[in-house]
Structure 1
Amino acid sequence: ADAKKKIRIGPNRGENITSEVADILESHSRINPDDFDLSRVDYDTDVLVIGGGGGGAGAALLARENRAKVIIATKLRIGDSNSMMSQGGIQASVNPNDSPAIHYLDVLGGGHFDNKPDLVRTLVIDAPLVIKWLEELGVMFDKNPDGNMVTMLGGGCSRKRMHSARDYTGAAIMRVLRDEVKNHPEDIQVIEFSPAIELLMDEGGQVAGAILYNLETEEYIIVRAKSTIIATGGFGRLHIKEFATTNHYGATADGLVLGYKVGANLLYMDSVQYHPTGAVYPEQILG
């Protein structure tokens, strides 16, 4: 079978999308709307964050800093994510010979100028602030004897700007974020083993929460929220073209499907990043 197929429905209709993802996007919902009484709400909150990895935990903490009440709904446990497994680092322009403008050009070049400029601009401007924020929370980035952070060259970089915590950067960051979330139970409630299966929409066509499914009790949970953030990661665990993967078990396109079903346009769905340090081929050498 081909690696890509033209999707037949939704905002990306007619575009070539990775076949495994296209099949899920075209699938029917397994729930019957008539089975739910949406006037009965189990949780009511300011912000619902779907996903408990680095992005989700970080979003919840920043929402709390802005005085919002938050619920994190995660398919597995808080912290179970690809974020925990990352061994590289985070790039941010903090050195005297670097700047967000130089970082911006590096990112555009690395993306073969197919990037969204506004998103890249936000990335490079916020990156130094995020490094400072993470350090203040307790992430122990590598430092020189003089106390300044160690920075290294990363792929596509013209300056040293990659910040790491030895070779377990993701775990170091995720442990701090997870513990910080748990330090604020009065503002951030975590609902584990409860993936979101459908987004709720209000009469104006805006997202107003989600329906969760508790994997342990097999019960549905209705969460109403003023704002909803999807932070469920990618789709590497779908084993694209039957390739082996070290992606976390949660990376199965859940958030992409949720957003697509309510009209969100998906970007760059014809592309998959393949990082070849974890492949074994042919299979016979596994023994």
Structure 2
Amino acid sequence: MYTEEMLESIKKVEAKRAENAAMEPKRMTAEEKDQVLKENHPDYREDQFDVLTVGPNKGEKAPKELVKMLQSDSRLKDNLPDLSCPDYETDVLIIGGGGAGASAAIEADNAGEKVMIVTKLRIGDANTMMAEGGIQAADKPNDSPAQHFLDCYGGGHFAADKELVYKLVTEAPEGIEWLQDLGVEFDKDAEGNMITTHGGGTSRKRMHAAKDYSGAEIMRTLRDEVLNRKIPVVDFTSAIELIMDDKGHCAGAVLMNMETGEILIAKAKVVIIATGGAGRMHYQGFPTSNHYGATADGLVLAYRVGAPLREQYTLQYHPTGAAFPEQIFGALVTEKVRSLGAKLVNVDGEVFMNPLETRDVTASTVIRECRRGKQVDTPTGGQGVWLDAPMIDIIHGEGTIEKRIPAMLRMFLKYGIDIRKQPMLIYPTLHYQNGGVKVGTDSQTCVENLFVAGEAAGGVHGENRLMGNSLLDVIVFGRNAGKYAAAKAKTVEVGKLTLDHVAKFEKELADAGIQPDEVSPKLLPDYTRKVND
């Protein structure tokens, strides 16, 4: 599958493999990290950002693509539906069927509230399903939530909400137990102890995993629990606008059937947005590891009713997306490959960094290596560096790759690349929305009765997320949102339903001189007859 030029480079990689496997590359200093980020990370490209001119974050920057969606017309601008006869009535309406939405549904159901999930694809079609490497929790004798907190807070460049980070790390061990009780099959040793590994930016081995399909295993378990409880799931149906009541509180959502275009009204005492990320916005033209529906819908819905965002200017570009073959361009190559010992190697077979720096630093260093002319070129004009997976079997013994990262092995074997013998070509891929809607420790926004959980929420990760903290986030804060939303629902009396905020936002756009040429939320990416420039 590899070209002749690639195979020539692989010969250099093979010649130095034993030496490279044994070496321990030095860690970067704080100053070196700052420099490589500023010179190479996409978040520092000022020409790729615009300033918001309307809404609660007016005057702040965000990616151009996100600004356009936040400042677009509502899909209901010229045709407001009748709200007097709702098609659905529930206590807790959850928008999104991924890990956070499912966790919230389970906890709200536990609290005895009437729950409904609405999801624009199917339950489980989410970034949770595509997560691979594992989930963090400080539950070993040589670790502690305090140490986990320091890793998270420092790894996020001290920008996160400390109270949210505290909740994340202190409730992590319980989250692992909860998942295990539900039936998640984590990797264990012969004595039944959880096997844990390092991740980039972690000071302890606290990554719990199910092979290299941890997210799929977790999502399978959560989905089955939701369905077994007979919690209603309305699939292939998008929320296209939130509904407020005459008291200014969130009171439901306008829904659209993705197949028929039918408009439906869902009335609720409380609403939880759990719509996930934004990879399919393809910020700065990057490929993405995200699922098909990751288009920042939740941010648009919340922003239009007055809920501010935070850290909306920062995205995570996973350092190891597949750069070749083209059929899997941008697909995630789990960080677990590096945590097991594989190192990043340039075209000349040289290791150029420690493989377990934080993701933003690692991605920036890969980009820098390519800019220095040390890249491997692909036949379609792409580029990348090698991730030398065969080191894993050298370090841990033959069969380790097949046992610990079977999904990676299968993904590349489909294209004639055996990662037990050959390296993988990688380049950063758009992976995670670091920021999101601003929430408190109860997962509620400043808009009464509107909660947000998972990747759509901001403040947990600051300006960079550590490996394994996304799956942890959806569990801890999905459950959190479900508990608090259910408790709040018990006291809510919904007023008269209204969509007055739509006209108010349209007036803001007009007063700012903005004439949108699109509607939002985006819902799905548009790939029809597109050609790369």
In which range does the TM-score fall when normalised by the shorter chain? over 0.9
What is the aligned partner in structure 2 of residue 201 from structure 1? 244
Give me the whole-angstrom Cα distance separating, in 1, the residues matched to 2:158 and 2:225: 37
How far 1:285 sits from its partner (Å)?
5.4
Q: Which amino acid aligns with 1:223?
A: A
Q: Which amino acid aligns with 1:80?
A: D
Whether 2:127 is the aligned partner of 1:82: answer: yes
Q: Equivalent of 2:207, from 162, 169, 173?
A: 162
* Structure whose alpha-carbon radius of gyration is higher: 2
Q: C-alpha offsets along residues 87-143 of structure 1, whole Å, 9 cap, x if unaligned?
A: 111101111121111111111111111111011011011111111111000000001
Query: TM-score normalized by structure 2?
Result: 0.52
How far 1:32 sits from its partner (Å)?
3.9
Give me the whole-angstrom Cα distance separating, in 1, the residues matched to 2:191 and 2:113: 39
Give me the whole-angstrom Cα distance separating, in 2, the residues matched to 1:34 and 1:155: 49
Instruction: Mark the CA change 1:285 to 1:5 in structure 2 (over 3 Å): closer, same or farther.
Output: closer
Give me the whole-angstrom Cα distance separating, in 1, the residues matched to 2:153 and 2:146: 11
What is the aligned partner in structure 2 of residue 245 from structure 1? 288
Q: Is the 8 A contact 1:245 1:279 kept in 2?
A: no
1:180-199 → structure 2 map (5 Å cutoff): 180-185=225-230, 188-199=231-242
Q: Equivalent of 1:211, from 229, 250, 254?
A: 254
What is the aligned partner in structure 2 of residue 274 from structure 1? 317
How far 1:247 sits from its partner (Å)?
1.2
How far 1:14 sits from its partner (Å)?
0.7
Whether 2:329 is the aligned partner of 1:284: answer: no
Q: Which amino acid aligns with 1:284?
A: T
Give me the whole-angstrom Cα distance separating, in 2, the residues matched to 1:97 and 1:246: 33
Q: C-alpha offsets along residues 168-225 of structure 1, whole Å, 9 cap, x if unaligned?
A: 001101111111111111xx11000101000000111111010110012221111111
Give me the whole-angstrom Cα distance separating, in 1, the residues matched to 2:129 and 2:216: 4
Whether 2:149 is the aligned partner of 1:100: answer: no
Whether 2:223 is the aligned partner of 1:223: answer: no
1:143-154 → structure 2 map (5 Å cutoff): 143-154=188-199
How far 1:283 sits from its partner (Å)?
6.7
Give me the whole-angstrom Cα distance separating, in 2, the residues matched to 1:163 and 1:279: 24
Gaps of 5+ in 2: 1-45, 324-376, 383-533
How far 1:276 sits from its partner (Å)?
2.8
SS of residue paired to 1:273: strand
Q: Which moved more, 1:29-38 or 1:44-53?
A: 29-38
Give me the whole-angstrom Cα distance separating, in 2, the residues matched to 1:205 and 1:282: 54
How far 1:148 sits from its partner (Å)?
1.4
Q: Which amino acid aligns with 1:244?
A: P
What is the aligned partner in structure 2 of residue 9 from structure 1? 54
How far 1:34 sits from its partner (Å)?
5.7
Identity of aligned residues (%): 56
Whether 2:162 is the aligned partner of 1:66: answer: no
Give me the whole-angstrom Cα distance separating, in 1, the residues matched to 2:176 and 2:189: 16
Q: Which amino acid aligns with 1:204?
A: K
Whether 2:350 is the aligned partner of 1:254: answer: no
Instruction: Mark the CA change 1:124 to 1:36 in structure 2 (over 3 Å): closer, same or farther.
Output: same
What is the aligned partner in structure 2 of residue 123 from structure 1? 168
Give me the whole-angstrom Cα distance separating, in 1, the residues matched to 2:223 and 2:115: 14
Query: TM-score normalized by structure 1?
Result: 0.95
Instruction: Mark the CA change 1:204 to 1:33 in structure 2 (over 3 Å): closer, same or farther.
Output: farther
Root-mean-square deviation over aligned CA pairs: 1.5
How far 1:35 sits from its partner (Å)?
3.5
